[in-house]
Amino acid sequence: MMDLDIPERLIPIRGKIDKFVREKVDPLTQEYYDEINVGDRWSFTDRQNEIMDGLKDEAREAGLWNFFLPASQGGAGVSNLEYAHLAEVMARNPIASEVFNCAAPDTGNMEVLERYGSEAQKKEWLEPLLDGKIRSAFAMTEPQVASSDATNICTSAVLEGDEWVINGEKHYISGAGDARCKVMITMVITNPDAPKHLRQSQILVPIDTAGVDVLRPMFVFGKDDAPHGHMHIKFTDVRVPKDNILLGEGRGFEISQGRLGPGRIHHCMRSIGVAERALELLCRRSLSRTAFGKPLAELGGNYDIIADARIEIDMCRLSVLKAAYMMDTIGNKEARKYISAIKVAVPNMTLKVIDQAIQMHGALGVSQDTPLAAMWTGQRTLRLADGPDEVHRRVIAREELKQYQ
């Protein structure tokens, strides 16, 4: 039987996370964001570091840390299904996932290092990531090609003696603007003459390596998203040791499929939390304001809007939990169609709920005085990140057609 409920042992943990977010993270979030405009937007102020490091220390001491990895690898030992219940609660606040060391892109990168990294690579990069001391990036998307097809990647890595020499460009590399970002997992072509899915490799590139040039932040809906950033990076004769390759030459596409599955479902888990937060704001606003002598909730079909939002959130949550269950039971690769389904459905649903919440707030909904505008742009971007809707629909359709061919 497919049991999608949260295990009894994790109910207190979920409660502790919720309480921690509401009592400790929420009160400091606006101050944390206000500090971005103090001095250099791409450097963390002393107060930002004080807020984030203090919250991380408290979370770690409370045992609320690294939920997504097995206990043997420094995590909390929860399954994908179990993690889904926890990630949703974290995502109701925009900085909470980082507080618990469960933020993208680090979660996906840590899974790659745990699953595919050598012992030396784990010691150099996984350990400080698990400790929350550094951050990381995943460098795949390129400006010259349609990167939704990973086989199009053209950044090259040529082996010269004991070093890989890397040349090319990447853009929209999320997290690479963060001053704490120390390493990028970089998708490259190492053998252009190999079969299509064996040409790519993934190589660890320290961001301070000579020849790595961060050209500019790529804007998202007119904002630079500092200090996290989505950067445009040029690699010019970048030399890294031969041993920086992950798993082996020609295994890059295989790794990306293993990484993007968990990465995609983590995004969807968080999006359910975002949708819940938007619905909460919508409901509170609808009851606190009156127009034409009635609460907003009783006007203009708003009961239907609220009911539909609840129905759609719950439907999408069940789909996310099912996808997580399938990953746990049949594996990431075999669960691909379930992952693709939620990657399409969940951001679109969340966008709809946020849009309705914005409408309920009127002009305030698109202002800086609510989180709704930032929530909307984040979810709209998610329809492109880790594969656009069209790619995932293609996966689903091809799987569906197989049974009739």
- CATH for 182: 2.40.110.10
Residue 71 lies in a domain: yes
Q: What is residue 70's predicted lDDT score, i.e. its pLDDT?
A: 56
Tokens 């618990």 label which residue?
Answer: 100
Q: How far apart are CA 27 and CA 25, in angstroms?
A: 6
Whether residue 122 is contained in a domain is answered as no
Burial 131-155 (b: 16+ CB within 10 A, else e): ebeebbbbbbbbeeeebeebeebeb
> Residue 177 carries which side chain, given as an amino acid letter?
G
**272 and 363 share a domain?**
yes
Task: Say yes or no: 358 and 260 in one domain.
Answer: yes
287 inside domain: yes
Query: Are 303 and 390 contained in the same domain?
Result: yes
Within this chain, do residues 237 and 288 fall inside the same structural domain, yes or no?
A: no
Phi-psi region at 225: left, alpha or beta (left = phi > 0; alpha = psi -120 to 50): left
Last residue in a domain, options 224, 246, 268: 246
Q: Note down the domain range covering 35.
A: 8-104+112-117
Residue at 3 is within a domain: no
Question: Both 233 and 262 in a single domain?
Answer: no
Model pLDDT, residue 140 = 95
Alpha-carbon distance of 260 to 344, in angstroms, equals: 14
- The pLDDT, as a whole number, for residue 92 is 95
Question: 126 lies in a domain?
Answer: no
* Cβ atoms 175, 199 nearer than 8 A: no
Chosen domain end from 194, 219, 246: 246
Residue 125 located in a structural domain: no
Residue 376: which CATH number?
A: 1.20.140.10
pTM: 0.94
Distance CA 28, CA 241 (A): 42
The predicted pLDDT at position 75 comes to: 60
The total number of structural domains in the chain stands at 3
CATH of the domain at 58: 1.10.540.10
Specify whether 64 is located in the same domain as 154: no
Query: Length of the chain, please?
Result: 405
pLDDT in tens, the chain (405 residues): 899 999 999 999 999 999 999 999 999 999 999 999 998 999 999 999 999 999 999 999 999 999 876 555 556 678 999 999 999 999 999 999 999 999 999 998 998 999 899 999 999 999 999 999 999 999 999 999 998 888 899 999 999 999 999 999 999 999 999 999 999 999 999 999 999 999 999 999 999 999 999 999 999 999 999 999 999 999 999 999 999 999 999 999 999 877 777 889 999 999 999 999 999 999 999 999 999 999 999 999 999 999 999 999 999 999 999 999 999 999 888 999 999 999 999 999 999 999 999 999 999 999 999 999 999 999 999 999 999 999 999 999 999 999 999
Whether the Cβ atoms of residue 77 and residue 220 lie closer than 8 Å to each other = no
> 79 with 172, same domain?
no
Decide if 199 contacts 250 (C-beta within 8 A): yes
Q: At what angle do helices 80-90 and 302-330 cross, to 10 degrees?
A: 150
Residue at 1 is within a domain: no
Same domain, 206 and 273: no
Q: Is 93 a member of any domain?
A: yes
Q: Where are the alpha helices (DSSP H) in 245-388?
A: 252-288, 302-330, 336-361, 372-382
For residues 216 and 234, give the distance between their C-alpha atoms in angstroms, rounded to a whole number: 10
Same domain? 239 vs 265: no
